[in-house]
Chain A
Amino acid sequence: MKIEVLGTGCSRCKQLEKDVYNALAELDIAAEVEKVEDIKTIMGYKVMATPALVIDGKVKVSGRLPRKEELHKLLKSAGE
């Protein structure tokens, strides 16, 4: 599984990256995590608000921080 966190460096973007690492550790899921900061790459995903969470090339959340349960659910269903 490949996870990308899209964000130009706002505080919530950094928070999302942390949340993802924590969730992966708690759920014991292995994944490749990448922080994407380049605006052109971010726009390539057609998101209009950061932070955004991309799992295996699909935008799952944009413009907000998902709650912990929501994030766990997203990661679990993608890991199956």
Chain B
Amino acid sequence: MIIFEWLNNQLLKMEWLSNAVRLLVENGFNLDMSTRLGGSIHFFIYDVIKIFILLSVLIFTISYIQSYFPPERTRSIIGRYKGVWANTLGALFGTITPFCSCSSIPLFIGFTSAGLPLGVTFSFLISSPLVDLASVILLASIFNWKIAIAYVIAGLILAVIAGTIISKSNLEGYVESFVYGDQNLEYEPESLSPRDRAAYGKAQVIDIVGRVWLYILIGVGIGAAIHNWIPQNIISAVLGQDKWYSVLVATIVGIPMYADIFGTLPIAEALVLRGVGIGTVLAFMMGVTALSLPSLIMLSQVIKPRLLTIFFSLVAVGIVIIGYTFNALGHFFL
């Protein structure tokens, strides 16, 4: 247990890095860590470096695994299952697919046109941006394993339930007609060498880091501001644990925002440090990642407004419920 704790603290929480940055801030910049400026600078440098290191290592690893599961194969595997099992599998596969919303439309069409139930495709689409392996490790790094695992389970349950409701509601008519094609579930495996897979992993790291670095810097910047500059009484008044509306506010603020989960983590971290309830923080993160204007606009190209509204409402209500549940059980997680 001591070894595990040490590994956890050094590799995942990167205490060595925190200490190194502390030395830099105290001796390099001659700033006291207990002052606002010193504290903010430490938070910023330490968080940025930590997130970039973890992100690169994790994306490479996940992409390597993912190269064994191209979308055609995923579709073929899910296609063998029925009912809620297909939804569960869809949600699980969503956790190992790329985090880019630009790939969600071809995936949506590819799944639907091959005859997968609409709800299964939605389970996949909901879990894909919401839960992925990299975010789990980052959550464990910033908070702890209990929160990381609880987040994944909550996200998966949301994806499965929302997808199942969509399946049961017979909404197939609300998909644009060009989506239904004549694709089949057959899959011919591509033979890739370990070098090809490594090249794929490397390309994914460059692609994703290139796409999200700005969001991360902004996220850490906001986090540092929350951490040290915004007065406690304002945070308590808007998002305090005792305020019944805190989860609603967090969800409503989070939805129009578009950021990768990696950009929202530093904000979440700072909010928790300032005493905001864990459920409120998770609702904010889920609102940012699962629902965003760009992804809704993209989806509107392939589904009709009614289905889009149902999808949006299901996910939004789910996020609010998750938020209140986690707040009620908050003492168990922190």
Partners in one complex: yes
Tally of contact residues, A, Cβ under 8 A:
20
B178 — which chain A residues lie within 8 A by C-beta? 40, 43
Q: Mark A1-38, 1 if CB is under 8 A from B, else 0.
A: 00000001111100000000000000000000000000
A40 to chain B, nearest CB (A): 6
Q: Determine whether A58 belongs to the interface, using a CB cutoff of 8 Å to chain B.
A: no
**B9, CB-defined interface residue at 8 Å:** no
Q: Which residues of B contact A43 (CB under 8 A)?
A: 106, 109-110, 113, 178, 181
Shortest CB distance B128–A (Å): 12
Q: Chain B, interface size: which category?
A: 20 to 34
Interface of B is mostly: helix
Q: In chain A, residues 37-80, which have Cβ atoms closer than 8 Å to a Cβ of chain B?
A: 39-40, 42-43, 46-50, 62-65, 67, 70
Which residues in B have their C-beta under 8 angstroms from that of A11? 207, 210-211
Q: Is the C-beta of B334 less than 8 angstroms from some C-beta in chain A?
A: no
Bound complex: CA A11 to CA B100 (Å) = 11
14 A–B contacts from the bound complex (CB under 8 Å): A8-B106, A10-B100, A10-B103, A11-B211, A12-B203, A39-B105, A39-B109, A40-B178, A43-B106, A43-B113, A46-B183, A49-B103, A65-B203, A67-B199
Query: Interface of B with A (CB < 8 Å)?
Result: 67, 70-72, 75, 100, 102-103, 105-107, 109-111, 113, 178, 181, 183, 195-196, 199-200, 203, 207, 210-211, 301
6 smallest beta-carbon distances between A and B, as pairs: A48-B110, A48-B71, A67-B199, A10-B102, A65-B203, A64-B200
Taking A39-B105, A48-B111, A50-B106 as given, write out 14 further A-B residue pairs in contact, using a Cβ cutoff of 8 Å, ordered by the A residue number.
Answer: A12-B203, A43-B110, A43-B113, A43-B181, A48-B71, A48-B72, A49-B103, A50-B103, A63-B70, A64-B203, A65-B199, A65-B200, A65-B203, A70-B196
